[in-house]
């Protein structure tokens, strides 16, 4: 299949059945957003925001784009900007993975790091300051309605097509900007009012559950504020998940299902497994998997993965 550019390959990501990790009394599926060209769900958001801004005239030809990002949005925006001829600048908290910085820079972006003590709010404020100072276009992923609208028009309909004429009882997703939850959630709920939408978030930063924010290991999830685009009433249930359990689930997906995904994906499946515990026999669940594990090589996800030769294993045979 031929395409005019890489942007045309965004979306239409596959839904895959979980065969070994899912409890026997339910069917569990995952939607693999790592099949997007830059390997995350944020490719959708990035294209949506830039395309909308160009069409409306808010973004001029050759104008610099800037955004605050934990990494995946920045990588996606760097790709879109490279294709369409816009310089891109990312502001990012210094604790996010080194891989993300390098990928953005490989795509031609500049990366401005902000202090960890300033949290997500700090990187957002820095992006706003630089946009005002230099006349750059600020993407505003946490506020821009083009974000959930694109999910409403692509992610949601893709799921409905994949489950046309079939059961789907639960849809489970995490939240970062809230675009996926809000946009796709609206479309799914409109078409299937009986579908239960489950949002999940870190135990350490369970803002939708009424908790306080504290640092957590699930990069891309839950900044220290609830984004404007997130509509909390879309979710029928909110399930906080544990960091360490989520990491174990990510590794279990790789070892048991051959599905190589990041911590946020493990966290979402962790929540789906909790839903499955009390789900009626025959229930069908779908979990959103946001990105690839290759984005986490320097994080706790790989902390216990051996880099040396497996000589000791060989000797034990």
Set out the domains of the chain in order of their start, with CATH numbers: 6-39+154-302 (3.40.50.1100), 42-138 (3.40.50.1100)
**Confidence (pLDDT) at 27:** 98
**Confidence (pLDDT) at 130:** 98
* Distance from C-alpha of 81 to C-alpha of 66, rounded to nearest angstrom: 10
> Two tokens at 117?
């003590």
- Strand 15-18 versus strand 27-32 pairing type: antiparallel
Among the listed residues 42, 186, 189, 274, the single catalytic one is 42
* Distance from C-alpha of 13 to C-alpha of 211, rounded to nearest angstrom: 33
Count of CB atoms within 10 A of residue 308's CB?
6
**Confidence (pLDDT) at 70:** 82
Count of CB atoms within 10 A of residue 134's CB?
10
**Confidence (pLDDT) at 131:** 98
CA 110 from chain centre, in angstroms, equals 22
At which residue do the structure tokens 């990510």 appear? Answer: 250
Q: Say if residues 58 and 64 touch (Cβ distance below 8 Å).
A: no
**What secondary structure letter does DSSP report for 193?**
T
Q: Which residues of the chain have pLDDT under 50?
A: none
**Confidence (pLDDT) at 219:** 83
**Confidence (pLDDT) at 216:** 87
Active site residue 42: yes
Which element (helix H / strand E) includes 291? none
Among the listed residues 40, 97, 264, 283, the single catalytic one is 264
Q: Quick one: which of 130, 70, 121 has its CA closest to 97?
A: 70
Q: Say if residues 289 and 34 touch (Cβ distance below 8 Å).
A: yes
**Confidence (pLDDT) at 18:** 98
**Confidence (pLDDT) at 224:** 86
First to last CA, the chain: 47
**Confidence (pLDDT) at 222:** 86
> Two tokens at 241?
């998940």
**Confidence (pLDDT) at 273:** 98
């Amino acid at each position: 299949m031929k395409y005019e550019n890489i942007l045309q390959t965004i979306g239409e990501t596959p839904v895959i059945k979980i065969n070994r990790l899912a409890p026997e009394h339910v069917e569990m599926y995952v939607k693999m957003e790592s099949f997007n060209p830059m390997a995350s769900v944020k490719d959708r958001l990035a294209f949506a925001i830039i395309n909308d801004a160009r069409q409306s005239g808010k973004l001029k030809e050759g104008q610099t784009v800037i955004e605050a990002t934990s990494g995946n949005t920045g990588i996606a925006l760097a790709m879109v900007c490279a294709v369409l001829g816009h310089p891109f600048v990312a502001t990012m908290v210094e604790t996010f993975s080194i891989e993300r910085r390098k990928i953005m820079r490989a795509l031609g972006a500049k990366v401005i790091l902000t202090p960890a003590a300033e949290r997500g709010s700090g990187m957002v404020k820095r992006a706003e300051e630089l946009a005002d100072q230099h006349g750059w276009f600020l993407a505003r992923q946490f506020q821009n309605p083009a974000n959930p609208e694109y999910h409403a028009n692509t992610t949601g309909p893709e799921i409905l097509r994949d489950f046309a004429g079939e059961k789907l009882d639960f849809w489970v997703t995490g939240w970062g900007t809230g675009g996926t939850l809000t946009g796709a959630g609206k479309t799914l709920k409109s078409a299937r009012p009986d579908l239960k939408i489950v949002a999940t978030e870190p135990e350490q930063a369970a803002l939708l559950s009424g908790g306080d924010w504290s640092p957590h290991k699930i990069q891309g999830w839950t900044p220290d504020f609830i984004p404007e685009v997130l509509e909390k009433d879309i979710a029928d249930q909110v399930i906080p998940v544990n960091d360490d359990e989520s990491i174990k689930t990510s590794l279990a997906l790789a070892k048991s299902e051959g599905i190589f995904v990041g911590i946020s994906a493990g966290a979402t499946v962790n929540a789906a497994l909790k839903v499955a515990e009390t789900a009626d026999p025959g229930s069908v669940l779908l979990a959103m998997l946001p990105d690839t594990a290759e984005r986490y090589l320097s994080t706790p996800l790989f902390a216990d993965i051996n880099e040396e030769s497996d000589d000791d294993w060989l000797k034990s045979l």
